[in-house]
Each structure stands twice: as C-alpha cells, then as structure tokens.
Structure 1
Amino acid sequence: MVRSHFNFDWSAAIQGWLQKNVEQSYRSDMHRWPTLLSFDATIYRCGPNARLFVVRDKPSASAIPSISGGNETIAWPNSLPNVINPFEETVLPDLLERVYAHFELRQQDFAIIIPDSEHSTIEEDFRSWTIEQEKAARWQLEFAMKRQLLYVRGFDQVGGGFFLPPGYEFLAKDCERFFQDHPRYEKNVFVMTRFVPGDKLLVALDVELRRVLRENDLDPVRADDKMYLSDRNLWNNVCVYMLCCSKGIAILEDRLVDEFNPNVALEYGFMRALNKPTMLLADVGFRNLRADVIGTLRETFDITDIKETIESPVSRWLRELN
C-alpha cells in the first residue's frame, strides 16, 4: 500500500529536484523561477501503477503550498487516453502533450508522472525505479524546465512547442487563425521557394515535395497558400507561417533566375534564428552559393528529374530529425 504521505513527499521532492536543476543551469533566474516559491499540486490516478502530479505556480511567495491529500488520487479524466505504462518512450510525449492541453497548463505550470511505490521513503522509492522510469522522469523535468524558461525570459508559448518571440505578440490572433487550418504545430513544415505562378518546374517541385511530406504524416505549407493578416501585410503573413511551423525546407535553385533567391535566404535565416530545424535542399546545378551557407550541410535533388530525386533526400533528413 502507498504510504499515507506519498503525495506530500513527492510534491516536495519534485520541487526540490526542479530547484536543483534550475540552480545548476539557470542560477541567475532562480529568484523569479515559477513553482519554486509556492505551488498547488493536484494528484491524479494514471494507469494502474502511477500517478500524475499537476503542479501550478502560485504568484505570491507568502502563499502556502497546497497539495491534494495524503495518498489519495483523483480519477483520471475521461477525455484523456488510458494507458497501462505511461513511461514508455513511444507513449509519454504524446500523452504529456494531451495532459498539458487538457489541464490548460500555463508556461509556469507543469505536470509529471511518478510511479507508485509501497516503500516508506523517497530514497527507497527512487531506488526501486526501472531505467525506463528514471529516463521518463528526467525527460518530463527537462520538458517542464524548457517551458518555464520561456516564461522566465518573457516568451509567450501557446503549446506543443510553439512560442511567440518578444516583439511578435501582435501576431497572436493571426497565428490562432493559422492553427485553425493547421492545428498540429509539430507537424507543420514551412516550404521556402521562389514564387513564379504557373512555372511548370516549380509547380511539379511543389506537388512532389508536398506529397513526400504528407506521406510522412507532416503538413507542408507555403506563405502564398492563404493570407491570415486582416491588413494583408505580406511580410507579417510570412512571419505567421514561419512562427507556426516547427521546421522548414529551403529550396535552392537558380535555373529560372541566376541568383540566390533573396526571399528564400531571408526566410531561411529567420527559421534558423528561431533554432527551428531547417533543411537546405539544393538543385544539383545550383551555382549561387553564399559564404553563410557554404559550410552548411545540404541535400541535393535534380530539378529536371524531380519525381525520381526528391523523396530520398527529404526522407533521409526526416529520419535524422527523428
């Protein structure tokens, strides 16, 4: 039987674990780090042998932490999937994403799943964990810290890894409209390419590239797909696409115009500045290499033989990402 003060023990231990990691990595931010001063913890049953701790930041340092009682748990929400082993590497990321969404957790809040234990102390609990459970706990804490760091540094995160950098908060409503069409941030891929309406080569390239990405359960988009800005500002519309996509592919070709397309260069730089994985996909005949991309690994295709050469480099890049 789980000890009577299990919830209190682990709420305090989780806070202490977080504090230790923040102190090691972000010591200068400790005074303003959420959930370190005070918090509310609500504990839910999670499968037959685990429990979910939902930890919410309390804004006042003088507020006494509130922890749901003893060793009791609240029933697992019906709208969330029931899992036997929430610590499985293939299960945990998606489950946690759903948990954060269901409980509408803010950036300063977090959730963590802990195994049940019949031992009498935290130390004995931890020693009884499997390697899988230890790895899952570390991953969950790192995930929580990344979200909280964005909050501490003034970034606005909506969920699923999406965030609005400082200065782009005015695009929040436009991003919401984008997500109505493309709701899975982690699946959205921004395609950066030259715009020449009606050009047969570029049309064929767009069709084949989107096909390959969709077959890999991704959602490819281009900035000319739809206008999301009410004032029809072109650059801000491009920003919405770049902000709302988790990754991108920049097409390098100069057979139509002998240049490194400036729009592609600008968009590629924006994506990389946001530290989003971005593939450089270059035509084998591309000549206009610039100093800032010469040292960057590129994949190649043949724009005169798109159907036979586009799938392999894109699939290879996606495998490396995963």
Structure 2
Amino acid sequence: MLAGGVGGSKFTLGVRSALARRGAPEATVVVNTGDDLWLSGVRLQPDVDSIVYALAGASDTVRGWGRAGDTERVNQELQAWGAGWPWFTLGDLDLGTHLARTGWLREGLTPTQVIERMSQRWPLGARLLPMTDAEVDTRVVLEDGSDLHFQEWWTRHRAALAPARFENPGISSAAPAPGVVEAIADADVVLVAPSNPVVSIGPILAVPGIGPALQATSARVVGVSPIIGGRVVRGMADVCLAAIGVETSAAAVAAHYGSRGSRGLLDAWLVAEEDAALAPAVSALGIDAVVAPLWMTDAEASASIVDAALGAAGL
C-alpha cells in the first residue's frame, strides 16, 4: 500500500482488519516521508507516526493526530524559551518518539531501520517502510517565489497562502528505501490509499524507481478516491490539487494518476456512491471504475472499503 496522512492511517487499519479476516499475509505499507522535518533539534515523521500510532491503538482519534492522552508540558517550556514553533504542538509522549528516533539516527541507523525498531514496541500487524531513506522534505513555493516548509504552510497558515507548486529538494537523486521495490514486485495487489494525491502520494511516486516498479509489477494497482461528492474528506487537498491544475473530483484525480495501460498508475479506481455518475468518465480513461461506500467512519467501514478494493483486484 502507498499511504500518508490521516486518511492513510485510517485506511491502514482497514487493510489490517480485512486481511486478518481472510487469513492473508500482513500488508507492506510504503509511507510518505515528504512531511518530515527537523524541529527543536529532533526529527519528526508525521505520516509515519500517524500510521504507527493508529496501528498501535495509541492515536488521538479526537484531534486526529498525536498520541492519545498526551500532555504538553515540554511544549510549553519550549515556547517559554522561544524555541520551536508556537503553532506546532509537540505532545510529551509524541516528543518521546521524536527523541528516540533522533537518537537512533545520530547513532547511524537509517530511517528504515528506525521504523523497524519502532515496530518492535507494538504488534502493528503490518510492515512499514519509508518511501526513501533520503531527506526530501516538501517545500511549498508561493506565487511570489518565496517558499516555506509544508508543515508551516499546512499547520500555521491552513493552506491560505496560494501555492505555485510543491517541491521535494533532492528527490531526483533519492532512491527507494530498501525493500520498497521488492515489495511492489512481489505484491498480490497494490493499494493506493485515499491520501492527499499531491503531498502524500505524489512524493512517493516521485522517488526514482518507484514508478517503474509500479509499471512492472504483475499485481493490480487499485486506488481509492479521497474525494467524495466533489469535496475533500479532510484537510486542504483541494488547494493542493488546484495548484497543479487538477479539479476536485474523483474522476479528475483518477485522470491525474492515469491508467497503468497508458503509463500511469491505476488499474482500478474506487469512487464513492455519491460520485457514481463519474464512473463512466473513469472507465473512459482505461481504468476500471468501482462504485462503493467510501466513508471511513470506523475500522469496520474501512475494512469494507478494502474488501471492495481487493475485489477490484480479483482477490
């Protein structure tokens, strides 16, 4: 699975549940690391942590990010020192994760090895891999030519500053993390989570070698639309899509990904019942359109979406 963000973490829970019911092997999740950043001397991996916490049953489902039951004493102290970002909260438990990660990185472990070590604490029921071990943080270039880190644009400014484009400096010389290409080649099916197509899935696809691996795999590639009824489910993905000239619709995102038969990504695309009228437009792209309920209201609903995706892959 290719995943990132809150949508990716919810979908990963559904994947784990659906596969467990079938007695199938664990999934391998290739996680976006374009959201990563250094802050107050520690390395943060927001998408990785969201998925780890969700699988561990430790995520704050009310806020939608961070650890359940977290406190913010250290964050308050950082702000008293004028350190960090006052609008970017680091919970105490969450900071413990970042400190552990940073220590391991400074000892010489790679991000892949760090995630493997993190996965030993909780029985996650899935194998997590970063998209790359290189640091390729996402920068948002504004219309005036200035740029800022994606997290500042997203969290501080709530995507209100008009973006001209998104960049991942250094990504052209990055390589897939160990195991990523092999996982794609050996997969029974590749699922594209209903994550932000531009800043969650986009960076994964931009890592040299991942696109060719997706083209070469014998597995069907099935994606789930993050757009329901012409609206984003969460966040500001519509702003990101507009910046790259893509309409906020299930059919437009399918066209953005493209048909694998035309050197794109998808073999099949799940669209919400609310967007059933768009299924013919998706089919016209050479992508099998499957209409299904797509609201991830709980783990069971997410698992049902995964079942529909697996069905689209003939599994």
Q: Which has the higher contact order (CA 8 A, sep 6+)?
A: 2
TM-score > 0.5 by shorter chain: no
The structure with the larger Rg is: 1
TM-score calculated relative to the size of structure 1: 0.31
